[in-house]
């Protein structure tokens, strides 16, 4: 019985690992995108992010992160720092295309 449980445990671990890798690489299943559509789209469509740069409150990646952080406080979800980062990256990748400060990302 112990052996069977150990086997089930390692199979489940393998599946979780594979799933984690798949999520990390798939941009279609972007956690930032899911968070945005779950919590941020009550007030605005994503069209608000397609403004010309001069009209936008966002001039660089630090601005974008600051806005996301502030907006996150308006939602009913308690965003973690990691989730803020995921949403920031998602919006940047999809809309703002600001240069990322950190190299290699």
Using the rule CB under 6 A, which residue among 30, 31, 46, 49 binds ligand HEC?
Answer: 49
How far apart are alpha carbons 76 and 2 in whole angstroms? Answer: 43
According to the binding rule CB under 6 A, does residue 61 interact with ligand HEC?
no
CB neighbours of residue 72 within 10 Å: 19
Of residues 75-104, those binding ligand HEC (CB under 6 A): 75, 87, 91
Stretch that binds ligand HEC, among 3-11, 13-21, 23-31, 32-40 (CB under 6 A): 32-40
According to the binding rule CB under 6 A, does residue 68 interact with ligand HEC?
yes
DSSP 23-77: HHH-STT-HHHHHIIIIITTT--GGGGGS-GGGSS--SHHHHHHHHHHHHTTSSS
The contact set with ligand HEC (CB under 6 A) reads: 36, 39-40, 42-44, 48-49, 51, 56-58, 64, 67-68, 71-72, 74-75, 87, 91
């Amino acid at each position: 019985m112990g052996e069977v449980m150990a086997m089930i445990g390692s199979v489940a671990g393998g599946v979780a690992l594979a799933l984690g890798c798949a999520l990390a690489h798939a941009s279609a299943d972007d956690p930032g995108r899911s968070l945005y559509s779950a919590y941020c789209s009550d007030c605005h469509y994503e069209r608000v992010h397609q403004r010309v740069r001069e009209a936008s409150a966002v001039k660089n990646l630090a601005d974008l992160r600051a806005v996301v952080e502030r907006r996150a406080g308006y939602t009913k979800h308690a965003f973690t720092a990691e989730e803020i980062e995921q949403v920031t990256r998602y919006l940047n990748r999809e809309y703002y295309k600001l240069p990322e400060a950190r190299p290699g990302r």
